[in-house]
Amino acid sequence: MSNFASKFANLIIIMAQEDVFKKIISHCKEYGFVFPSSDIYDGLGAVYDYGQNGVELKKNIKDYWWKSMVLLHENIVGIDSAIFMHPTIWKASGHVDAFNDPLIDNRDSKKRYRADVLIEDQMAKYDEKIEKEVAKARKRFGESFDEAQYLATSPRVLEIKEKRDALHARFAAAMQGPDLEELKQIILDEEIVDPISGTKNWTDVRQFNLMFSTEMGASADASMKVYLRPETAQGIFVNYLNVQKTGRMKIPFGIAQIGKAFRNEIVARQFIFRMREFEQMEMQFFVKPGTELDWFNQWKQTRMAWHQALGFGAENYRFHDHDKLAHYANAATDVEFKMPFGFKEVEGIHSRTDFDLSQHQKFSGKKIEYFDPQTNERYTPYVIETSIGVDRMFLSIMCHAYEEEQLENGETRVVLRLPAALAPTKLAVMPLVKKDGLPEKAREIINDLKFHFNCQYDEKDSIGKRYRRQDAVGTPYCVTVDHETLNDGMVTLRHRDTMEQERVKISDLAAIIEDKVSIASLLKKLQ
């Protein structure tokens, strides 16, 4: 294939991926999942509201995470710390001095980008090229194809890999400083162009602090500069002693929290993937020094199992170990999920050492230590952190669940193949017609089942249109009440994924559906 043909093929793939993503964004708004914030005022950049279906899906995601932490682990408890905290906390954590992103502008488009993201995207392009070479070879050789041998011997693959590895080494070294001049030079050497202007007319790279600040106090003289928290973890660290003492917690133990965080993202992009107001699900696990790397590896496997229990396919997840470790960490990795725009981080796992507790001990003047009654030792615990973005998790689920399915009759249906336990509505109950006592019977069924799971009454339009509407919002089960129901006490139960229909007794509905749509059905996979 010529160089032009290869570039054209890549362009077609990128356009197709972007088209899918645009459809998902449109679907989110059309069916009440996500709305632009302040929509009637033409919106507010990188801020979104969750609609009636989105808020239920989001709640179910959080419920799944929370129960996987505090229900399945006797040594993990939860807290809910305040968004506003003493400003010295952020000095101790390093955010005041070092919470920066390297930014670069394109002079022609007037758009601003994160320099590290531009380079990471370039490395991802090399990875995609390798994957395409493998796909072509697999098609050419069929069942006899040995992927490992091909990767090790193909001149084309080895050439691409050499370029990718060289870029990776330069990038990792530049980020250690960071070396801002080197970051710009990498962008120029790799001939990275602005996707809008198509030019390489870049400014110098500079650092930008991401925290929002405000004043707290009744008068100007007595006001205090405070911050909207850029992460939720510090609320856990400053409550470590409170939880440990009141809960009589023994090492190892964890503290979980779900809460809002705020970052002044200059380069907010990709719908709800990167926002200025977002929600985090974090757990800080306190361990004995010297055991932290063992626990780090254990939590890597535990968290990956949590993701894969959703049934989206192991091939769509991967670990990405950090090249540049944060100043507080001695190990770090990301759980990445394959989005329409490539593999992207949905969760971070860090071994934070004793940095945070030691810093808060230093700045507060309060001892933050643990006394081990078994060894008679006093020490500052080390910390393993798992942190997952609720909004990114929401987006990854929507991206995977969205499908345009071709039916045998030539029609197309849009279906959200959401895990049943996460679906906003578990069951839609539909009278075949709006008369003859069918609506009343449908209401009777809902009034009985609504105590077990979230139900919806639907009587508008033809039964076929109602099925399509429920498919589009991810409802796993539909029940149709017809005239025979009044005589035999049976209804038609339709399954979303297969569209199969069966006659079942009304009295059996709860038993058939409840276990499949409960959070417990997911949690059982983790045992």
Pairwise CA distance, residues 223 & 219, whole Å: 6
Strands 427-431, 455-457: parallel, antiparallel or unpaired by DSSP?
parallel
Residue pair 439/429 in contact (Cβ under 8 Å)? The answer is no
Residue pair 479/491 in contact (Cβ under 8 Å)? The answer is yes
Pairwise CA distance, residues 227 & 95, whole Å: 10
Pairwise CA distance, residues 301 & 503, whole Å: 42
- Would you call 168 helix, strand, or coil by DSSP? helix
Q: What is the pLDDT of residue 222?
A: 59
Pairwise CA distance, residues 312 & 334, whole Å: 18
Pairwise CA distance, residues 363 & 166, whole Å: 42
Integer Rg of the chain from CA: 26
The CATH number, out of the four listed (3.40.50.800, 1.10.10.10, 2.40.30.10, 3.40.50.720), of the domain defined by the range 409-526: 3.40.50.800
Pairwise CA distance, residues 383 & 357, whole Å: 9
Pairwise CA distance, residues 96 & 98, whole Å: 6
Residue tagged 């930014």 (tokens): 103
Counts of helices then strands in the chain (DSSP H, E): 18, 23
Pairwise CA distance, residues 306 & 410, whole Å: 37
Which class does domain 3-99+210-398 fall in? alpha beta
User: Which residue type, as a one-letter code, is found at position 344?
Assistant: K
Phi, then psi, of 111 in degrees rounded to 5:
-100, 150
For each of the chain's 527 residues, which pLDDT tens digit applies? 444 444 444 434 444 567 888 899 899 999 999 998 998 888 888 888 999 999 999 999 999 999 999 999 999 999 999 999 998 998 888 887 767 788 899 999 988 888 988 998 899 899 889 988 988 888 888 888 888 888 999 999 999 999 999 999 999 888 877 889 999 999 999 999 998 899 999 999 988 777 888 888 765 565 688 888 999 999 999 999 999 999 999 999 999 999 999 988 766 667 777 778 899 999 999 999 999 999 999 999 999 999 999 999 999 999 998 877 777 788 999 999 998 888 888 999 999 999 999 999 999 999 999 999 888 999 999 999 999 999 999 999 999 999 998 888 888 899 999 999 999 999 999 999 989 899 999 999 999 999 999 999 999 989 999 999 999 999 999 999 999 999 999 999 999 999 999 999 999 999 999 989 999 999 999 97
Q: What is the pLDDT of residue 243?
A: 95
Domain boundaries, the chain: 3-99+210-398, 112-206, 409-526
Q: Report the predicted TM-score, pTM, of the whole model to 2 decimal places.
A: 0.81
**3-99+210-398 and 409-526 agree in CATH topology:** no
Give first-to-last CA distance, the chain, whole Å.
50
- Would you call 331 helix, strand, or coil by DSSP? strand
Phi, then psi, of 105 in degrees rounded to 5:
-110, 150
Bridge partners, 254 (sequence order): 76, 285
